Structure 1
Amino acid sequence: MKKSILALASVAALASGSAFAQKAGDWQVGAGWLHFAPQDSSKPLTFTSPVAAVVPGSGASVGSSDTFGMNLTYFIDSRWAVEGVLGVPPKFKLEGEGTLGPIGELGSARQWSPTLLAKYYFNDGEAKFRPYVGLGATYVWYSDVNLTPGMQGALASRLRLPASALSATTAKLDSSFAAVFNAGVAYQFDPHWGMAFSVSYIPLRTTAKLTTTARGIPVATSEASLKLNPIVPYLAVTYKF
């Protein structure tokens, strides 16, 4: 009788442990808080036409932003997984620095950056607590790029355009691929529900290209290179099926 009870207890313990296992073929979805914290720097605003000229002492900084993130993970085996991450495009504000500082906010844009990661999990698949590392890539593009009236006016003044010229400046940001370096921890509460926290680093650059028109006719172009290099924490609730 004692042997039977011990055997049943052992089977129950093994079943209980394996219930938390992440194994080949498992899918996991997650959703939660994404924070983008740019470690930014910029080069001076430079006019490229009609005459090449640098605006001395000009610069810009990019503010941090929060958004809702989602991820989908597929386990190739108990340690290796592939994950896709997507967030509601966060809105970033560009603030003037140096000689552009008095303007304050220069403009804003929304960033799209779907990401694909290869992840390696430490500890056994049955463990509740599992650290992991990841490496992948993202393709970044921008929408809703707008300049503030203050920046519009500063450019018109710099070009000595009269109010009657009805000048306007439009802007776009270059798209690019970038590497993603990722590390995090996951904790499984029960066979389905868990939580994960990770931090990613993305070495990212872009160039803002501006076109100024007067009465609809292009009269000048300018640009500024931005180094964004965001650190991206992600806290998510997960569900495995």
Structure 2
Amino acid sequence: MRTHTLSAICISLALAAPFASAHEKGDWLVRGGLTTVAPDESTSNIIAGGSDLGVALTIDNDTQLGLNVAYFITDNINVELLAATPFTHDVNFSVSDPLGTGNTLGEVTHLPPTITVNYYFNDANSAFQPYIGAGLNYTFIFDESFTAANKEAGLDDLSLDNSVGISAQVGMDYQIDKEWHVNASVRYIDINTEASFTVGGAEGSVNDIDIDPWVYTLSVGYTF
């Protein structure tokens, strides 16, 4: 009786234990979920018509569908491509309504594809698979526009340069079974750009915009 009871307990514990399987060389991971870009921005002041307006900029957060694909070149190292649907951010004045047109200057849209090499601390006895990584980002910035009120005030032709910068991340996979896992990651991306525009026909600029966002991702992944 005791033997049967002990066997039943062992089977129950085995069934209740989380599935544990480390990633292996040759594995492909495909993930989809939510990605939030939270700028940790600092900018130089707006220059308009050669004069410093004494006003900088702030940039709002945005959340979109995040996608990534990774391939394990060894049991511990993979190469990952981060992609997403386009992020659109409101660009605001750092002080309240300096031009009498509201606090929002305009908006910008961007795509920040990032290639990262990750190192996994593989543990075949744990469902948790943490990793760290570093890589390179190229941010495409497009669809820059002023608000209607700022256009009426004479602002036009807003343009922001694309950006190349480094990135770093920490993350974790939680293995549900051999194929499926849940992923969470936090990464820092170095994004620097410059803005140019016209105001009443005169040239204007913001010469140093350090967006430098923290990027938070929560996704579900499949291994094949």
**Normalised TM-score (structure 1):** 0.79
For residues 96 and 194 of structure 2, the distance between their equivalents in structure 1, rounded to whole angstroms, comes to 19
Contact 1:23 1:125 in 2 (8 A): no
Correspondence for 2:50 among 45, 49, 52: 52
Contact 1:59 1:99 in 2 (8 A): no
State the one-letter code of the partner of 1:222.
G
In structure 2, stretches of 5+ residues that fail to align are 1-13
Does 2:190 match 1:203? yes
After TM superposition, list the pairs within 5 Å mapping 1:1-241 onto structure 2.
20-47=21-48, 52-55=50-53, 57-98=54-95, 100-101=97-98, 102=100, 103-125=102-124, 127-154=126-153, 156=154, 169-212=156-199, 219-224=201-206, 225-241=208-224
Contact 2:19 2:127 in 1 (8 A): no
Counterpart of 1:123 in 2: which secondary structure? Answer: coil
For residues 61 and 143 of structure 1, the distance between their equivalents in structure 2, rounded to whole angstroms, comes to 18
Counterpart of 2:178 in 1: which secondary structure? Answer: coil
Identity of aligned residues (%): 29
Listed one character per residue, the Cα deviations across residues 48-98 of structure 1 (whole Å, up to 9, x for unaligned) are xxx52211x212110000000000010111100000010101110011122
The structure-2 alpha-carbon separation of the partners of 1:138 and 1:89, relative to structure 1 and needing over 3 Å to count, comes to same
Query: How far has the Cα of 1:123 moved from its partner?
Result: 3.0
Match of 1:160 in 2: none
State the one-letter code of the partner of 2:72.
F
Match of 1:10 in 2: none
Counterpart of 1:98 in 2: which secondary structure? Answer: coil
State the one-letter code of the partner of 1:86.
A
Q: How many residues align?
A: 205
Contact 2:19 2:176 in 1 (8 A): no
State the one-letter code of the partner of 1:52.
G
Query: How far has the Cα of 1:174 moved from its partner?
Result: 0.6
Listed one character per residue, the Cα deviations across residues 170-227 of structure 1 (whole Å, up to 9, x for unaligned) are 11111121101100111111010001100001122111110346xxxxx311111322
Contact 1:140 1:177 in 2 (8 A): yes
For residues 229 and 19 of structure 1, the distance between their equivalents in structure 2, rounded to whole angstroms, comes to 36
Counterpart of 1:152 in 2: which secondary structure? Answer: helix
State the one-letter code of the partner of 2:58.
S
Contact 2:20 2:124 in 1 (8 A): no
Counterpart of 2:56 in 1: which secondary structure? Answer: strand
Query: How far has the Cα of 1:118 moved from its partner?
Result: 0.1
Counterpart of 2:151 in 1: which secondary structure? Answer: helix
Counterpart of 2:220 in 1: which secondary structure? Answer: strand
The structure-2 alpha-carbon separation of the partners of 1:111 and 1:33, relative to structure 1 and needing over 3 Å to count, comes to same
State the one-letter code of the partner of 2:50.
A
For residues 220 and 123 of structure 1, the distance between their equivalents in structure 2, rounded to whole angstroms, comes to 58
In structure 1, stretches of 5+ residues that fail to align are 1-12, 157-167, 214-218
The structure-2 alpha-carbon separation of the partners of 1:54 and 1:120, relative to structure 1 and needing over 3 Å to count, comes to same
Query: How far has the Cα of 1:34 moved from its partner?
Result: 0.2
For residues 115 and 238 of structure 1, the distance between their equivalents in structure 2, rounded to whole angstroms, comes to 18
The structure-2 alpha-carbon separation of the partners of 1:200 and 1:99, relative to structure 1 and needing over 3 Å to count, comes to same
